[in-house]
A and B are shown apart, each in its own frame.
Chain A
């Protein structure tokens, strides 16, 4: 019997060797993500969040354990990752960047422009199609980053703190736009963030991780109905209670991570 979940992780463990020292990045991660679910991952720095996403993206291999991902349509790519930081190709124009996955899959130039054009409009990048990234602001670049992942139309979307480097205003705007696009697509998504606010706004569930080694501490369901709106969301009574719950879980871990760092 095959599992029906989109992602199933069993006893996933990743061990690094950094300067002859053994570092356990992830230990016995158990996780199941339903199809169409938006899972946010929070945890102190260095808890292996990024490593987890890189394993799912096929950029790294686990040391032990099972990773099962269900692919409904072999024509589509299994995963697309929105990387942390600046990963937009500086040598390609905006439209070439957004359509990159289509070029890899051998689509014609016209088809590429057509599909990318839709997402450029959705992300408010109209009129910047032929600009080069160095002419754009950080917020614009992250729009391209997100659009590039959506254009590839993957089964699973992996986002590693895509809005981490943005200012508050840009962040709010992009969160709202991501909500809009994502709620329209219904893609299974994993989203790493440092911001509890952001996790509550976007996620169906929030996974809180422990540090050194990275384990699952708790998974909290977010029962806020969709479609969501950032403004009304913050004033809902649930929001405050959930924020408190997540922060209490996270606070312990952040303090623990601090004290182990000091003992080194």
Chain B
């Protein structure tokens, strides 16, 4: 063993270097700390480069703007309440649309998973309509539900519905037979069968469906607010496009990223509360 090896011990990502003679000095370098610093540093560096290139004229600020310009546009919008208003309108549409799609998705998905006759009679329709791009249905939804809130909520709901339905059904179908045997051996009634095995057993997959559905909801809000809307973050993007206001467009995009982050954070939090038995792998 070399002298160096004798004094460097690597334990669980920490490198500990001990010095000889008398007092020993310990230097701790925590790998997870380095990773955290990197995760903060690299986006900061990108923003800095963006700003420098914009100022040096390497990139066209009329098309790509610059971080400082975007920030200068964002602040007054934030203080005037304009930004919050649009965010609130969009968040409300996403939430209502999500619930309108997810609740029937779970109920139908559970019954399709549990009862083969229900599955046999509904599956052809689900399979036939699922591949239709939801955007292609939008004009039809506009004709049926008009130009008000209902059409926007329904556009989102329909996208969420399919993903939740299919995941819930798969969740029920994937429950290990042994759990069904246990319930049967102890004489569970159909309702107990549903409440003690099918529903809890499918919950992890149901939440996977919720997360996919939320992604789709954020996608569809932009499309839904494209037509006949007067507010919302998606509307802000299109409005900025019409006005050729690049800074405002970036502000709207940033707000959308923020909305997406908040919603997925909330879903993660609810998931941890509702499914405490699943190992958290993150």
Q: Are B179 and A81 in contact (CB under 8 A)?
A: no
**Residues of A with C-beta under 8 A to B181:** 59, 81, 83, 87
Interface residues of A in 71-97 (CB under 8 A from B): 77, 79-81, 83, 85-87, 89-92
Q: Does B148 contact A (CB under 8 A)?
A: no
B92 at the interface (CB under 8 A from A): no
Task: Let me know if B279 and A100 touch, CB within 8 A.
Answer: no
Given A103-B196, A133-B277, residue A77 in contact with residue B203 (CB < 8 A): no
Whether A104 contacts B178 in the complex (CB less than 8 A), given A58-B185, A77-B186, A77-B187, comes out as no
Please, which residues of chain B bring their CB within 8 A of the CB of A134? 277-279
Which A-chain residue is minimally distant from B276 (CB atoms)? A132
CA distance A86 to B187 in the complex (A): 19
Q: In the complex, what distance in Å separates the CA atom of A101 from the CA atom of B183?
A: 9
Minimum CB–CB distance from A100 to chain B (whole Å) comes to 6
Give the CA-CA distance A118 to B31 in the complex, in Å. Answer: 47
Give the most central of B179, B183, B203: most A CB within 10 Å: B179
Q: Does A57 have its Cβ within 8 Å of any Cβ on chain B?
A: yes
Q: Are A80 and B186 in contact (CB under 8 A)?
A: yes
Find residues 126-155 in chain A having any chain B CB closer than 8 Å to their own CB: 132-134, 152
CB of A91 within 8 A of CB of B200, answer yes
**B277 with A83: CB separation less than 8 A:** no
Q: B interface, how many residues as a size bin?
A: 20 to 34
Shortest Cβ distance from residue B281 to the other chain A in the assembled complex, whole angstroms: 11
- Neighbouring B residues of A87 by C-beta, 8 Å: 178-179, 181-182
Contact residues in A for B182 (Cβ distance below 8 Å): 81, 83, 87, 89, 100
A132 adjacent to B188 (CB under 8 Å): no
Q: Are A85 and B187 in contact (CB under 8 A)?
A: no
B192 at the interface (CB under 8 A from A): yes
A85 partner residues in chain B, CB cutoff 8 A: 178
A59-B185, A77-B187, A91-B203 known; A100 and B196 CB under 8 Å? yes
Q: Does B197 contact A (CB under 8 A)?
A: yes
Are B185 and A80 in contact, CB atoms less than 8 angstroms apart?
A: yes
CB contacts (< 8 Å) of A81 on chain B: these are 181-182, 185
A149 to B90, CA, bound (A): 53
Question: Are B277 and A59 within 8 A (Cβ)?
Answer: no
Which of B188, B201, B203, B278 is close to A104, meaning CB atoms less than 8 Å apart?
A: B188
CB-defined interface of B183-215 with A at 8 Å, one 1/0 digit per residue?
A: 111111100100011001101000000000000
Q: Which of A185-210 contact B (CB under 8 A)?
A: none
Could you say which residues of chain B place their CB within 8 Å of the CB of A100?
182, 186, 196
Of residues 268 through 282 on chain B, the ones whose CB sits less than 8 Å from some CB of chain A are 275-279
Chain A residues lying within 8 Å of B278, measured Cβ to Cβ, are 90, 134
Give chain A residues whose Cβ lies under 8 Å from the Cβ of B200: 89, 91-92
Question: Is the CB–CB distance between B186 and A91 below 8 Å?
Answer: no
Q: Which residues of A contact B196 (CB under 8 A)?
A: 89, 92, 100, 103-104
Give the residue name and chain of the A residue nearest to B184 (CB). A59
Q: Is the CB of A91 within 8 A of B201?
A: yes
Residues on A with beta carbons closer than 8 Å to the beta carbon of B201: 91
Of B183, B196, B203, most A-chain CB atoms within 10 Å: B196
Cα–Cα distance between A80 and B184 once the two chains are bound (Å): 10
- Give the docked Cα–Cα distance between A172 and B179 (Å): 27
Contact B279–A104 (Cβ < 8 Å): no
- Assess the B179–A104 pair: CB atoms within 8 A: no
| Interfacial chain B residues near A92, Cβ < 8 Å | 196, 200, 277
Contact with B along A103-121 (1 / 0, CB 8 A): 1110000000000000000
Contacts of A133 in B (CB 8 A): 277
Which residues from A are CB-within-8-Å of B184? 58-59
Q: Give which listed residue, A89, A104, A132, contacts B187 with CB less than 8 A.
A: A104
CB distance from A135 to the nearest CB of B (A): 9
**Closest B residue by C-beta to A54:** B181
Q: Contact mask B259-275 → A, CB, 8 Å, 1/0?
A: 00000000000000001
Contact A152 B277 (CB under 8 A): no
Given contacts A83-B178, A85-B178, A103-B196, contact A90 B185 (CB under 8 A): no
* A90-B186 contact, Cβ under 8 Å, with A59-B181, A83-B181: no
In the bound complex, how far is the Cα of B181 from the Cα of A80, in angstroms? 11
CB closest chain-A residue, reference B202: A91
Residues of B that sit less than 8 Å from A by CB: 178-179, 181-189, 192, 196-197, 200-201, 203, 275-279
For the A-B complex with A57-B185, A80-B185 known, give 20 more contacts whose Cβ atoms are closer than 8 Å: A58-B184, A58-B185, A59-B185, A80-B186, A87-B179, A87-B182, A89-B179, A89-B182, A89-B197, A91-B200, A92-B196, A100-B186, A100-B196, A104-B183, A104-B189, A104-B196, A105-B187, A132-B276, A132-B277, A134-B278
Task: Pick 10 A–B contacts, CB within 8 A, sort by A.
Answer: A58-B185, A81-B182, A89-B179, A89-B182, A101-B186, A104-B189, A133-B277, A134-B277, A134-B278, A152-B186
A-B complex: 3 closest residue pairs judged by Cβ atoms = A91-B200, A132-B277, A87-B178
